[in-house]
Structure formats: structure tokens, C-alpha cells
Chain A
């Protein structure tokens, strides 16, 4: 395999958790709720997966548990921001703080222990003879395939179905949606919970692919990069896929240059994804300075039924 093919595979591997978390964020924000707790949710998803997987040696149970725990945390965020109309920024920050502390507390006993397995891979032998495609798609794990399907499903859901119309209406103009007879709160609760589950799955994916073990704070800001990716992707699932792989590539490029014995110290290579996140956001902000940003119009604004506009 040549360097580019290897880099593409690495980009998909490193990009899949980013993609899952970004899709979760898109669902949250399309429904009008900011989700800044992604980092904490990913950590909770990851630590739950590790604990249950080590205890039961059952991958399915581990994934279910991690999705269940993050769904519960998502409900907390939904309750605070939808029912109590609390500050969504602060609620997300609290989620991240609690998630990093609680995951470290829970994971203390299994820290560094190897997991009993990794994600199963789909060996598509019929693709093997095809040069580049075979190398890339012949040996991907099941969550990566799931993320491909999810991108298509979410794209169709958001842009081609009446459910998607309701979702967009709830995020852009909840008052109008309410008048149309759409149950604003119920839909918001639903998407915030499902979004949190996807972010939790992103954490599970991180520990089940490359280095199958728990380490405190192992997401290292990936959750926050996903929060940025939601903006790059302009709340669109297909663009989310491209953006996530771009960052996956950046992430693994640094690692690969290190392996190749680059003269640049590894610390600077590791800074690349963070610095590029800021630079791309600045570029997008500059380019779109006179255009509507594509942000759901009621993002972050609690909907209060008594106030009609």
C-alpha cells in the first residue's frame, strides 16, 4: 500500500469518532439546542464501554451500556435546557466537567487494562482485487460502516422527509412549528437524547479501534473538535463526513510524520488539528461575513410557549 492509501485509511479510522460525534451534534443543534458537553459525553461513552466490556466480555452489552449512559446524560441536558430553560452553554460545560471527573473516577480501577477485543471487521474479499478501493473498504470495522449508513439516513431524514421538516422547523422557528401542531418539546427531547447517544458511541469507537484500553482523558479535546466540525459542516451530515475525515487525516498525518522521523518535534505536529480548527473557523467566518451562517435560527434560545412572535 502506498502512503496516500495508508493515510486515507488512517483518516477514516481517526475520523469515524469525530464523524459520529459531529452527527450527534448536528441533530442536537438542528433541534435548536447547543451541545457543548460532547467531550464529557465521549469520555463517559468510552469509560462505560471499557468497564462493561472488561466485566462481561460482551461487546454488544458494552455498546448498549455506553449508549444507555449517554442517553441518560443527554436527558439531563435536555431537562435543563428545554424544561428549565437554563443556560445551554453552562449546562454543556457542566456536562464536560462532570464527564471528565466521573469517567476518571469510574475508570480508575481498569485504567491501562487491555480490553478483551476490538470492533469486528467486515472482510469484503470480493473487493480485494480492486486497487485502492479494495485496500480502503475491504477491511473496515462495523461502526465505520454504521457511520456511512448513518450519514445517508440522516441526510435523507433531514432534507427529504416530513420528520426532517419538523426537526428543522423546531430549530429555526419553534413558535411556527408549535402553531403547525408540532410537539416542540417532545421533538427537542428526542433529538437531544439521540444526539447524546451518538456522541457516546463516538467515545466507544475511540477505545474499540486503535488502542483498546482506557486512559484518563483519552479523548484529548476530540469532543471539542467535533463541536467545531458541526459549524464547518454547516449542520449538514454529508459535509460532516468530509470534514471529519479531513481532520482525521490531519490527526494521523502528525503521527505518521513522527514515525517517519520528521525533524519537527512531535509536540508541534500534535498541535496541528487544534490550530487548524481555529484557522478554518476564522476562514469560514471571514468568507461568510455577509452571508447567513446556516445556523439554526433559534439555536440556544429556549422556547417559551406563552411568548408568540
Chain B
């Protein structure tokens, strides 16, 4: 049970603090989670199933999965490249580059969406050129993918960069001396060292890519059955006063979030064991 940190005796203060922490967390974090499922199943399993099987909802699920399937591998490649360059080499502007990689974390996704609109939109920087070549970026899949890439780009890099910096590059240097090629070094030396952190970053990146709302809502144009991702579909159903449908769609996103948290916890205990 709770004990005094120094004497090992349980203290009254400890009991009060733990109780307060638990009650606040139950109200702030657990209640919304439980509520989502209780409302999704409020009208029974059959209504839930028919809500999920609705063609519009299925389309939104498919589109969201497609965006994640494109975005996550690109961000993994970027994360590995950025961490390799920054952790293994010294070059001028390294600090600036790290800050730039972090920018999407501090910028609101809404701003990202607006910025993309001023780049690829009809009156944007590249808009006239795109129009001339009949290329549609905004209010279509490419726009949704680009904004999602912006929002989720730091996740993988942020997880593996500190790890690669802490590990140094002695093992890689040894491999070079033994005549290994770049890819061999990466596959046989670096990758095994960073695999759990890489997986962890990829899981977080996926969860965020699936759930992105603000940035996507700016660039998607909200075309029903075409550019409507799952989070946007939740809002659409809510505005249509189909609350049970909205909660059913939201419950699928919640399940993905919970899976991500379980994987995260499992990876963390694995990482500590190593």
C-alpha cells in the first residue's frame, strides 16, 4: 500500500493525494472513455452494427485507413533519415534543423491546414500552376495526406533521435572498419538497437494520423462519401443530430486509441527489460 517515501510508513497525506489523483482521473479521463461506448451501444448491438455498416461510415473508415497507410511509412522513412543525420554527424545548422522538425508539434493543425490552402489552393502560391496542369491537391486525397504528414511528421523522429544520440556511433564505426556497407550497418547494427522506439513512434504516428481533425477539416472540403475521413464523419453525424451514429463512429476511433495505448505500454516494459 501507499507508504511514506522515506520511512516506508503509510501516511495520511499519501492516502489523500492518491485518492484525489484517482478521483480526478476517473472524472477527467475515464468517464469520457466509458461514456463513448455506453452511448454507442445505447440502442443495442444491432443499431450499433447497422451504424458501422452504413456505406458512408464504411467509406470514411476506408479513406482514413488509406491516409494512414500512405502517411505512416513516409514518416517512418523521414524519422529514420532525420535521426541518422542528426545523431551520427555534425554539421552546421543541426540545432536549427531539430527545431524545424519540432515545428508541427507547436503549430495548431488548423494553421497547418490554412497554410496548405495558401500554397496549393486556387489562389495559393502554386494554385495557378496546378490549375494549368489540371492537378487537384486541395479538397482531395493529396491535400488530406499532405496535412496529415505535416501534423504527424515529428512522431517517429522524436522517439528514435534521443535514443540514437545516447547510443553514440561506436558500433557503427566498428562495422565500417569491418567493411560493412551503409545498408548492412543500418539493418544489422542500428535497426536492432532502435526497433522498439521505432515501433512505438510508428504506433503514436498511426493513432494521430487516424484521428487528425482540425487540419483535415480545412483542406478536405467535407465532401460526403469522397473526402470525409472518420473524425470528420463523427462531426457530420453529430451535426445531423444522429448522436448514436456519431458515437458508433467515434467508438471505432476510440478502440484504435486504446490499442495504441496498450501497445505503447507493452513496448515500454519491453524497452525497460532491454
**A complexed with B:** no
Q: Enumerate chain B interface residues (CB-CB to A < 8 A).
A: none
Q: Enumerate chain A interface residues (CB-CB to B < 8 A).
A: none
